[in-house]
Amino acid sequence: MSLLVVGSVAFDAIETPFGKVDKIIGGSGTYISISASYFNKKTNLVAVVGEDFPEAHIKNLQAHGINTEGLQIRKGAKSFFWSGRYHNDLNTRDTLVTELNVLADFDPIIPDSYQDCQYLMLGNLVPAVQKTVLERLEKRPKLVVMDTMNFWMEPQFKAELMEVLGMVDVLSVNDEEARQLAGEYSLVKAAKKIMKMGPKILVVKKGEHGALLFGEDQIFFAPALPLEDVFDPTGAGDTFAGGFIGYLSSTDDISFDNMKRAVIYGSAMASFCVEKFGSERVMNLTPKELEERVQEFIDLVQFEISYH
C-alpha cells in the first residue's frame, strides 16, 4: 500500500546539554519519510526546500527508496529553518527561532503518480497546507494521520488547525501539545476533548515516558526504551510517526490491535533517533538492529502473572 508523506524539510540548529549544532538537516518530512521507508518501500514525499538545500540530502532520501518527485526546489528562496534548545531533562525544549521561508507560501502540488496513495501522513506543517493536500487527493486515503505542534495552535493558525483536525483519522502530538490543544491537564480528559474535534484515535507521545494510544473506549500504553545515552530528541516524535504509519501501511491493517503494534514499531524507531544528533542514526539502520530493538521492547514489558 503506498504512503504519502507531507512535511517540512529543513535546516535545524539544536542545543542540548551534550552539544550544539548550527545547521543540520531536519524537518518533519525528513524524519517521517526516512523512518517509514524501513517498513514501506512505496513512500512518496511532498515538501518544499530552497535553493540552499544540499542535493546530497535529497540523494540520501532517494537512496532509502523515497520518491521525491513531489519535493519542490524553489529557486532564489531559503529553506525552512528551526532552532531549539533542550532543557536538562531533555523532555522539554524551547523553540528559539522559526523562519518559515519557503514554507510561508508553500503550494503543495501532488504528482499524478501519488494520487493512488492509500495512507496519508500529514507531518507537522502549516495547517492550511495540510488541508490543501487532503483536498487535492482525488480519493480519500484509507487512513489519514496528522501531526502538529504548539506553534500552529497560536491564534493566527488555530481556525485552520481546527478545520484540518476535523478531517483526519488519527492525531499524533506530545503531552504538552495535547494539553494545550484541549485546555485540560488530565490526558484522559484531553483525549476525550480532542477526539470530539475529529480524530477517532489519538497518540500522545511522552518522550522518555513512552506513548499512549487512545481509541474510542480503549487505551494502550507503550514504554520508551530506557537508554544509556540520549543525545538529541529532535525528530523523535516524527520518527515515531513515520514508524507508526510505515508499519500500518505496510501491513494494511488499521484495527486498534494493529495500531498497538504500530506504536511499538514507532517507539523502536524513535529510540534510535535520540541516540545521535539529527537524523544520522535513523538514516543508517540495518533490519537486524530494528528487529533486535523491537525484541528489547517486548522483553521490557512481558511478564506472567497467575492468580490463585
Cell numbers standing for residue 63: 537512496
Grid cell, residue 248, equals 500500518
Min separation Cβ 36 and ligand AMP, Å:
14
| CB of 42 or CB of 170, closer to ligand AMP | 170
Residue nearest to ligand AMP (CB): 26
Decide: is 175 part of the binding site for ligand AMP (CB under 6 A).
no
Using the rule CB under 6 A, is 8 a contact of ligand AMP? Answer: yes
C-alpha cell at 296: 528489547
Residue 125 interacting with ligand AMP (CB under 6 A): yes
Sequence-separated (6 or more) residues with CB below 8 Å from residue 271? 224, 225, 227, 293
Number of residues that bind ligand AMP (CB under 6 A): 17
The span from the CA of 96 to the CA of 14, in Å, is 9
Closest separation in Å from C-beta 180 to ligand AMP: 14
Angle (nearest 5°) at CA 111 between 80 and 102? 15
Nearest Cα to Cα of residue 66 among 74, 75, 57: 57
Beta carbon nearer to ligand AMP, 42 or 50: 50
CB-wise, 141 or 207, nearer to ligand AMP?
A: 207
Binding to ligand AMP (CB under 6 A): which residues in 143-172? 149, 151
Three cell numbers at 171? 492525531
Scanning 56-64, 114-122, 228-236, 259-267 for contacts with ligand AMP by CB under 6 A, the matching segment is 228-236
| CB 190 to ligand AMP: min, Å | 18
What's the CA gap between 27 and 35, in Å, rounded? Answer: 13
What is the number of alpha carbons within 13 Å of residue 189 lying toward its C-beta?
Answer: 7
Look at residues 98, 94, 96, 106 and name the one whose alpha carbon lies nearest to residue 82.
Answer: 98
Helix (H, G, I), strand (E, B) or coil at 105: coil
Q: Find out whether 170 and 199 touch, Cβ atoms under 8 Å.
A: yes
235 near ligand AMP, rule: CB under 6 A: yes
Query: Of 106-114, 178-186, 229-237, 256-264, which part binds ligand AMP (CB under 6 A)?
Result: 229-237
Window 84 to 123, contacts with ligand AMP (CB under 6 A): 98
Q: Which residues bind ligand AMP (CB under 6 A)?
A: 8, 10, 12, 26-28, 82, 98, 124-125, 149, 151, 234-238
